[in-house]
Homo-oligomer: A and B are copies of this chain.
Amino acid sequence: MAQDEVDRLTEAWRHERPDLDVSPMEVLSRVSRLARHLDRARRAAFAEHGLEPWEFDVLAALRRAGEPYELSPGVLLGQTLVTSGTMTARVDKLTARGLVSRRRDEDDRRAVRVRLTEFGKKSVDAALEGLLANERRLLAGLGAEERRRLADLLRTLVLPFDDAPS
């Protein structure tokens, strides 16, 4: 198989630091680099539907929640791995664009409900289909069984993080 950037990177490290075992990078550097490439691909895929990646993340969380497509900022925080200040800003901008609406909870007046608008639902549904089409293309190099094994191996690495929430 052809060499990728990480092969060259670890080879260089082995030359410069032969005293170290850099083999962990062969897995984890590829994860990081692949994620950066995926971010760019996602950005391009969403741009066709007029959404930024961070906009999709919020809208998708609401969409996944099912009818009536409504969650609190606090729940959205947990699903998107951002801070509260960031979520405030995101909801502000999504509201300004008419993709979601925000209203105060009547029972707990500290709380807020963020709800997908009809426009938001249409946007996120279209963007999701574009995303999946793009992702299928990126995975074309792997067979079904390989994808399954890859997913399983990745799950093993992710699980410790999901268990102990940061």
Contact = CB atoms under 8 A, between A and B. Distances in A.
Given A1-B152, A2-B159, A5-B158, A138 B28 contact: yes
Number of copies: 2
A22 B151 CA distance: 13
Nearest to A135: B24
B33 A129 contact: no
Interface in A1-49: 1-2, 4-7, 9, 12-13, 15-17, 20-28, 30-40
Contacts of A40: 166
Nearest to A36: B81
A150 B6 contact: no
A139 interface: yes
Contact of A31 (B26, B35, B152): B35
A129 to B, nearest CB: 7
